[in-house]
Every structure is written in structure tokens, then in C-alpha cells.
Amino acid sequence: MKNIVIYLMVGVICSGFTALAQDGASTNNAADTDRLKPKAGDFGIGISAIPYLNFLGNFDTDLNLGDQTLYGKYFLTDATAIRAVLSMNNYTQISNLYAQDDAAIALDPTSTAQVIDTRKIKSYNMGLTLGYEIRKDRNRFTFLYGPYAGYQYSTSNTAYTHGNPISALNVNPSSNWAGSASGRTLSSDNGITHTLSGGLFAGIEFFIAKQFSVGADFTLAYSYAWSSQADAKYEAWDGTQVYEFDRPTSPGNKSRALSTNQYSSPTAAGAIYIQFYF
């Protein structure tokens, strides 16, 4: 994936210099390239190229359209803009594994019968950043930088289905999914994590055509995150019947980080993207 991003950026830069060389004197004319770019009062709409680059780099992986980043800009002047970046990442993974069929083996120890255990993981992330963008033009390239602040909301949970039921004859049935000493897990809720971030971004856009560009952003960000309590649901045999109970698994956590973000992230102010202006 990183190689693809590097190749793309090198390709954009090389194509820019090639276009400049082919255009000759007319391209070096500031008025000529100036017409390609947005002006005060214009809007911009863009979309991250990261999901498509990931897909191209891993042909055996489905295109994940649940992972999207949208870009919006409004130009205060020809050289400054307010920018918003909305990131969404919805993820679902279902895993099926075989386990021995305990009931069949109890009747026939040589049995090879199997049942299916299922695990379903779901996660949801949404982030919004707002920034002030300062732009410096040079031919078809625009260099941009500025401060930004953001917020991210994320949550995840896991549900388990066991092929072998708990019963009086089998109080500890075979399963692929680990539980606790007092029961086996039916579901887990990892709580909600909130993240506040702020920092600086810098990037570059190359204008392929009028009001159409390809860009890349890099950020230096400080983030603070805190999460709510996490819980899990279990089932067990109490001597007469199966019962279910809840138990907290984490009281919640807090973390701080100073990091650089080069690629797609709900708290990142940028990545690889295409942008349209009007």
C-alpha cells in the first residue's frame, strides 16, 4: 500500500513537470495556470482515493466503500479557504469455524461430525475536522498548509454463536471462541471512544484540468481520547439450567498521542484525494 501511495505521488509530480514542459511558455504564464484554480467564493468537493488504492494493491480484497473520506472547501479569498473533512469507516466481519459435534461424539467417539461457530465483529467510526487553509500557487501546483481541529466517535461490538449448546450433559462444550472461567462469551461491547485532535497540516495539489486536482496532505497532530466502560454477556450452567449474565470488562481508558498521519484516518486532516471546484 505504501509503495502504491509513493508511486502515485511521484507520478503526479512527474506528470506535473511533464505538463509544464509540454505547455512551454504558455504554461509558465501565471495567467494561464491561474484560470485552472478556484477563486474567492468558490466551493470544493473531494473524495479520498485511499479505498481505491487499497483495492488496487490487494486484488483479492473487496472494495470497502464503507471506508470513505469526503472533503469540502469554501474559499474566503483566492489564497485562503475554510476546509472540512468528514471520515466514515463502517466495518463488519463474519468468521465461521468448524468445531467438533460434541453430541455426535458422545454417541460415537469415532464420529467426525462438526458444527459451526460464528463470530460477527462490527465497528463504526466517524470523524470531522475543520481547518483554515492557506494556499500558495506555482504553475499547476498549489502548496497548502494551516491549522485544524477534529473530533472522532468510534464504537465496536462482537457477537458469538456457538454450535454446541450448554446442557446438563455438556456443561463445558467445545467452542472456538474463548470465554471466562465462569462462562462462555455471547457478546462483547467495547464501549464508545471519543477523540479530540488538533494540529497542523501541509500538502500539495496538482491541477490536471480546470477546477480539477489531485492532492496529498500530511499532518502533525496531538490527540486526546477517552472511552466508556466495556461490557460482555456470558452464558453458563447453574446446575439446573442455562443462564445469562453481564459483566464489565474494562472501566474505560484515556490516552494522549502526538503523531504524524500520512494516510486515511478519521482524525487525520488529509490523505490522497481528488478534488472538484465550482
Rounded Cα gap, residues 221 and 188, in angstroms: 31
Domain that holds residue 120: 2-277
pLDDT of residue 105: 96
The answer, yes or no, to whether residue 14 has pLDDT greater than 60, is: no
Q: Which long-range contacts (CB under 8 A, 24 or more apart) does 204-209 make?
A: 204/141, 204/142, 204/143, 204/144, 205/141, 205/142, 205/144, 205/275, 206/12, 206/13, 206/15, 206/16, 206/140, 206/141, 207/33, 207/36, 207/37, 207/140, 207/141, 207/142, 208/15, 209/36
pLDDT digits (tens, 9 = 90+) for 114-152: 999 999 999 999 999 999 999 999 889 999 999 999 999
In percent, how much of the chain has pLDDT > 90? Answer: 65
User: Is the overall model pTM greater than 0.85, yes or no?
Assistant: no
Q: What are phi and psi of 87, to 5 degrees?
A: -115, 135
Q: How many domains does the chain have?
A: 1
pLDDT of residue 261: 64
The answer, yes or no, to whether residue 264 has pLDDT greater than 80, is: no
pLDDT of residue 156: 96
pLDDT of residue 1: 46
pLDDT of residue 201: 92
Q: N- to C-terminal Cα distance for the chain? A: 32
pLDDT of residue 259: 85
The answer, yes or no, to whether residue 17 has pLDDT greater than 70, is: no
Please give the single-letter amino acid code of residue 272: I
The answer, yes or no, to whether residue 246 has pLDDT greater than 90, is: yes
